[in-house]
Amino acid sequence: MRYAPRWERACVRHGRPLAADANQPLEHLDLRGLPEVVAAQRRWASVARRAARAGAEPERVFALAQAVVARWWEQALQWERETIWPRRLHQVAGGDAGGDLERWRIVGRDAVVFPEVVAVAGALLDPAMAELVWADSGAGRPRALPADGMFCHRLGERLGRGWLGPLAATDHGGPLIAWMGSVIRVRRGVGGPPGYDNDPWWLRQEHQSATMACQLRVLGKEKKAPGSGTMWRAAVPAEQRRLITSAISSAEEPLLQLRGVQTGPTAEVARRLLHGLGHSAGVIENAWKRTAVAAVNGGVPLQEVARWVDMPVEVLSQMLREGRQENGG
């Protein structure tokens, strides 16, 4: 029996598959005006067979691809050149999602992004694409993944978004970069214990895309107590949360890649280690500063935050003022 993504398993008659995590007031999404979504349902069967032939479980391949695309979905509100998803979302909302955009972005996400999920899954299974990752990493001469790497550039082209490559390549906190890191470590023979960073299809818990039901519960709670400071997601804007998460993960990936560099000439090894460690240290400092600012802006007393970061109140207060000035506040 073939694997079908969760939201596809129900009714697909008349191009109206049941929404993911049903049992919600909006039970069906109208896909009759979106033939690309229906066509992607058929293409997934072929991708699932390719996964099985490659020795990968289709469920895990789909979950990873979905996590990659769901992360882009969260960022896409700031992407001026993204026009495909807004059109689809308005279509499944009956012509206009603007009246309840937050809810429709949750309810319609899995259907709207499904063609891209299938395309990403196919790309991750393509040996030629894995070779591009290896080349971007410097192959036998390790280097940091570039913002203009061939893999992400080609991936953007396969998705019909030539502009997406640099954005994907610099999203160091996401599942796509984690997958690329796994591919690189396997080729270099420096993978970790079974089931983790030497497994390209391992999806870390923090990278798993939230279900529709979970997001709707959070949305309901946030609307009951907006900006109260009692809930992190209510008090801290989504963009700030994303930047903090991205900073944490972008510090982690270079550190993992440093495992395999402690051989060779002393100067070269020291250069690579110091460069990688210095980069991660800077990113970590950026993450904790953003977290402190978010906490204070979210209503946590300045004295409490200062105590947590082991910093004089006056110094923290000055840091917050400088941060607001840099952001134009």
pLDDT at 309: 83
Report the chain's terminal Cα–Cα distance, integer Å: 57
Q: Is 94 exposed, middle or buried (0-12, 13-18, 19+ CB in 10 A)?
A: exposed
Mark the ranges of the chain whose per-residue pLDDT is less than 70: 1-28, 190-197, 222-231, 233-234, 323-329
pLDDT at 50: 96
CA 156 to chain centre: 15
SS (H, E, C) 202-253: CCCHHHCCCCHHHHHHHHHHHHHCCCCCCCHHHHCCHHHHHHHHHHHHHHHH
> What token pair was written down for 252?
């982690």
Rg (CA), the chain: 22
pLDDT at 15: 39
Structural contact between residues 120 and 129, judged by C-beta atoms closer than 8 angstroms: no
Q: In angstroms, rounded to a whole number, what is the distance separating the alpha carbons of residues 125 and 182? A: 14
User: SS3 breakdown of the chain: % helix, strand, coil, rounded to 5?
Assistant: 65, 0, 35
Give ∠ CA 164-165-168 in degrees, rounded to 5: 85
Residue 157: Cβ within 10 Å count: 12
pLDDT at 227: 43
Q: In angstroms, rounded to a whole number, what is the distance separating the alpha carbons of residues 145 and 132? A: 11
Q: In angstroms, rounded to a whole number, what is the distance separating the alpha carbons of residues 291 and 33? A: 43
Structural contact between residues 254 and 276, judged by C-beta atoms closer than 8 angstroms: yes
**Amino acid (one-letter) located at 147:** A
Taking each helix axis from N to C end, the angle separating 35-53 and 114-124, rounded to the nearest 10 degrees, works out to 20
Concatenating the DSSP letter of every residue in 137-195 gives TTTTS--PPPTT-HHHHHHHHHTT-TTHHHHHHT-TTSHHHHHHHHHHHHHHT---STT
pLDDT at 192: 55
pTM: 0.67
**Amino acid (one-letter) located at 163:** W
